[in-house]
A and B are shown apart, each in its own frame.
Chain A
Amino acid sequence: MNDGPKPRPDNAPKTQPQSKIVPQKNPMPAQDPVVRSKNFNEVALGYSPETAIAEAKRCLQCKKEPCRQGCPVEVDIPAFLKLASQGDFAGAIAKIKEKNALPAVCGRVCPQETQCEKYCTLGKKHEPVGIGRVERFCADWELATGVKIPEVAPPTGFKVAVVGSGPAGLTCAADLAKLGHKVTVFEALHVPGGVLMYGIPEFRLPKAVVQAEVENLKKLGVDIEVNSVVGKFTTVDQLMEEEGYDAVFIGTGAGLPYFMNIPGENLCGVYSANEFLTRTNLMKAYQFPDWDTPIKIGRKVAVLGGGNVAMDAARTALRLGAEESWIVYRRSEKELPARHEEVEHAHEEGVKFAFLTSPTKIFGDDNGVVTAMECLKYELGDPDASGRRSPVPIPGSEYVMEVDTVVVAIGQGPNPLVPRTTKGLEVSKKGNIVANLETGATSKTGVYAGGDVVTGAATVILAMGAGKVGARSIHDYLSKK
């Protein structure tokens, strides 16, 4: 309910008695760093009901709702916080779910500091409201107490295929199903969820939470067909021409791992971050031999890269038993693209950092197993196009770093399978599907796309936003059909 009397005028802090403001976020209870760096249980433990209410009460209920512009799926933040502050968690989660199909996921992994919380009025002088933390609490509360299924419109008779079950595909599917369309999601792997299942580690996003949210989607009538690689068992064209789908949404993500192209990269013990994380998360190698898929980890691990994926890999390596886990990054700490919280967590757990360093060669033993890397030191030069100071190699600074495992986490591109097998689908030079960001429309009539496959590797919530946009456009398209 958003139309009740607003208790405070706009830009509340200025007009409001200072005593009412709680300057700091309620801290998130977390596992002790020493203990958690040896297990795969969730690091952040979640608020108690009391803390959730207290945190929600920090919200000033600003009339202009500046926080909302930071949320790509347009969650009505003040409204849900108000309900939560009154202890009405059922109301709060219902409010969130009007816009967000995966709240338990978003509450955990949204980079809130650059999204909703970035615009929070409180954040100008103090710490912003912990929007994500309260969102997570409400979602977990609902998962624990039983989920209410939202209403679904009567069947329209239209059939829509969604390719890929990452956050983009799942969001698109949920919205279309609510509008009464018959939706089938095709997923290449044996479980739905995309990066949420194979990439983001269990200790940040428990897989049971993802699957619980997926189950809720199924209750909307969405069919999810796993083990279905589009471009192989069928194509987008065949789905539309032979299988009777009226529209298709492509949300196949950015799953193609990049390598450095340096000598020795195919040695044993060199993994892409995708392989390293997929073996661990999707295939549960940390439970080997109870689960059949193994992973081998050396005493000393080097992770190449400085993004969230690199942090996840470095923290995973410690949990798998590495004695030392190093982030090897070309620029300095300041330029690390990873979220602050992730870097902080990595520091706390004992991950080490080699900044201004990049490998040039990997060495192996007689069995072709990694033993060391030759690294070059860098210094920071002038800012490049992105505004970041670009690293310049220091000639003659080569040195050898002994390592037993190398994880390459320097980025991913879009998998070419679907673009290559779809007639008339325009792609960019980098292989991303070209789609209008406002509508999701591609160069092909009836085919929409969104998420990492369009934007390149981004975030869960942006992918979900794109899924929403796609659903809206597909609905319009079908309504005119």
Chain B
Amino acid sequence: MYKILEKEVFSPIIKLMVVEAPKVAKSCQAGQFVILRIHEEGERIPLTIADFDRKKGTITIVFQEVGKTTEQLGAMEAGDYIKDFVGPLGLPSHIENFGTVLVVGGGVGIAPVHPIARELKNAGNHVIGVIGSRTKDLMFWEDKMREACSELHVTTDDGSYVRKGFVTDVMKEIIEDTGKDNINLVLAIGPQPMMRACCNLTKEYGLKTIVSLNALMVDGTGMCGCCRVSVGGVTKFVCVDGPEFDGHEVDWLELARRGAYFREEEQRARERAKEEHSCQCECGGGK
């Protein structure tokens, strides 16, 4: 059992939790993820390590409520326990001094981008950060990102905060201003359509772009093949070969289709959980 030590509510659907998991904290690195299961009947879901504290033995996760498990997790409080919590999984981000790196976080993707930006800056890179969200209420960690990056640009889709525009609009301006030859690497993490749009843009400039893929997963150790994705025409397992890949090589259509395969079932599970929740027995809505 893994204790939730802290909970922070960024918005009604985006939440942060600090979880006691000393084994994971001891060895994890930026770019890796955990798989958790909140109760005995629960699904195993992957979440990126958004931060960690080796001394305290804690892992920070930031998640968006999109379905049954994330909603039930969101309803849990500090002091509650998560049944299973395994990690660190996946390969760490490749960190070296590339020169100038454009680091982009969209939506809940701001969280996983943060430790990578920090490491890149520590390695001597000039880190240009771009973070964007749909609207002001969904924005978080602007302060932490400002610290982790050399410079930070903020945008909202609807213009409710700082400026109006997608992250790709801001990226385009930066690439034009800085000159594509002065940018050595792009890293983009966020919802699939956003990462795909970023890759379409950077392809025009011939800028290598790393993305972090959120394929469906079961075990997360390379045992089931559920997370497979075509990268450069070769099948890769996101959980052990990734999660980071060269975005220009990824078969995005395949990834999106595989991700949608269980949509009906996910919907069913979610509706059922809501029904159970409405019993008002103070069971907390989750089993």
- Set of chain A residues within 8 Å of B44, measured between Cβ atoms: 190, 283, 293
* Chain A residues with CB below 8 A from B86, complex form: 188, 190, 227-229
A255 to B239 Cα, complex, angstroms: 14
A256 pairs with B222, CB closer than 8 A: yes
Q: Give Cα distance in the complex from A294 to B269, angstroms.
A: 9
CB of B89 within 8 A of CB of A232, answer: yes
- Kindly supply a per-residue 1/0 record for chain A positions 160-203, scoring 1 wherever the CB is within 8 Å of any chain B CB and 0 otherwise: 00000000000000000000000000001110000000100000
- B223 on the interface (CB 8 Å rule)? yes
| Stretch of B116-124, B206-214, B254-262 lying at the A interface | B254-262
In chain B, positions 220-264 with a C-beta closer than 8 Å to chain A are: 221-226, 228-230, 235, 240, 253-254, 257-258, 260-262
Given the known inter-chain contacts A188-B86, A190-B84, please indicate yes or no for A292 contacting B221, CB distance below 8 A. no
Provide 11 A-B residue pairs closer than 8 Å at the C-beta atoms, listed in order of the A residue: A188-B221, A190-B86, A232-B27, A232-B89, A266-B229, A269-B261, A271-B225, A272-B225, A292-B69, A294-B269, A296-B265
The number of residues on chain A lying at the interface, defined by a beta carbon within 8 Å of a beta carbon of chain B, is: 44
Q: For the complex, what is the distance from the CA of A105 to the CA of B154, rounded to whole Å?
A: 59
User: Given contacts A255-B222, A278-B219, A279-B218, could you give 10 more A-B pairs where the C-beta distance is less than 8 Å?
Assistant: A188-B221, A189-B219, A190-B84, A233-B24, A233-B87, A257-B225, A261-B235, A287-B41, A292-B42, A369-B257
Flag whether B85 is at the interface (Cβ < 8 A). Answer: yes
CB–CB A232/B88 < 8 A = yes
B272 is an interface residue with CB less than 8 A from chain A = yes
Mask, A225-243, CB within 8 Å of B = 1, is 0111100111000000000
Q: 6 closest pairs, A vs B, by CB? A: A368-B257, A294-B265, A227-B86, A275-B224, A292-B43, A268-B261
A residues in contact (CB < 8 Å) with B: 188-190, 198, 226-229, 232-234, 255-257, 259, 261, 265-269, 271-272, 274-275, 278-279, 283-284, 287-294, 296, 367-369, 415-417
The distance from the CB of B190 to the nearest CB of chain A, in whole angstroms, is: 22
- Tell whether B26 is near chain A: CB-to-CB under 8 Å: yes
Chain B residues near A271 (CB-CB < 8 A): 225-226
A296, B261: Cβ atoms under 8 Å? yes
Residues of chain A within 8 A (CB-CB) of B258 are: 266, 268, 368
List, in ascending order, chain B residues with CB within 8 A of A291's CB: 41-42
Min CB distance B82 to A, Å, is 10
Q: Does B23 make an interface contact (CB < 8 A)?
A: yes
| B253–A296 touching, CB < 8 Å | no
Given A188-B219, A274-B224, answer yes or no on A290-B41 (Cβ-Cβ < 8 Å). Answer: yes
Establish whether residues B84 and A265, one from each chain, have CB atoms under 8 Å apart when the complex forms: no
What 1/0 mask marks residues of chain B from 28 to 47 whose CB sits below 8 Å from any chain A CB? 00000000010001111000
Which residue of chain A has its CB nearest to the CB of B67? A292
Interchain CA distance A133-B230 in the complex, whole Å: 47
Answer yes or no: B266 CB below 8 A from chain A CBs.
yes
**In whole angstroms, how far apart are the Cα atoms of A283 and B218 in the complex?**
9
Contact present for B257 and A293 (CB under 8 Å)? no
A271 to B226, CA, bound (A): 7
Contact of B224 among A268, A278, A292 (CB under 8 A): A278
Residues of B within 8 A of A266 (CB): 228-230, 235, 254, 258
Q: How far is the CB of A462 from chain B (nearest CB, A)?
A: 20
Q: How far is the CB of A243 from chain B (nearest CB, A)?
A: 11
Give Cα distance in the complex from A294 to B224, angstroms: 15
Q: How far is the CB of B250 from chain A (nearest CB, A)?
A: 12
In this complex, the member of B218, B223, B230, B258 whose beta carbon has the largest number of chain A beta carbons within 10 angstroms is B223
Roughly how many angstroms separate A306 CA and B209 CA in the complex, as a whole number? 43
A367 to B268, CA, bound (A): 20
B267 to chain A, nearest CB (A): 10
Chain B residue nearest in CB terms to A199: B223
Cα distance A417–B220 when bound, in Å? 12
How close is B284's CB to chain A, nearest CB, in angstroms? Answer: 16
- Chain B residues whose C-beta falls within 8 Å of the C-beta of A274 in the assembled complex: 223-225
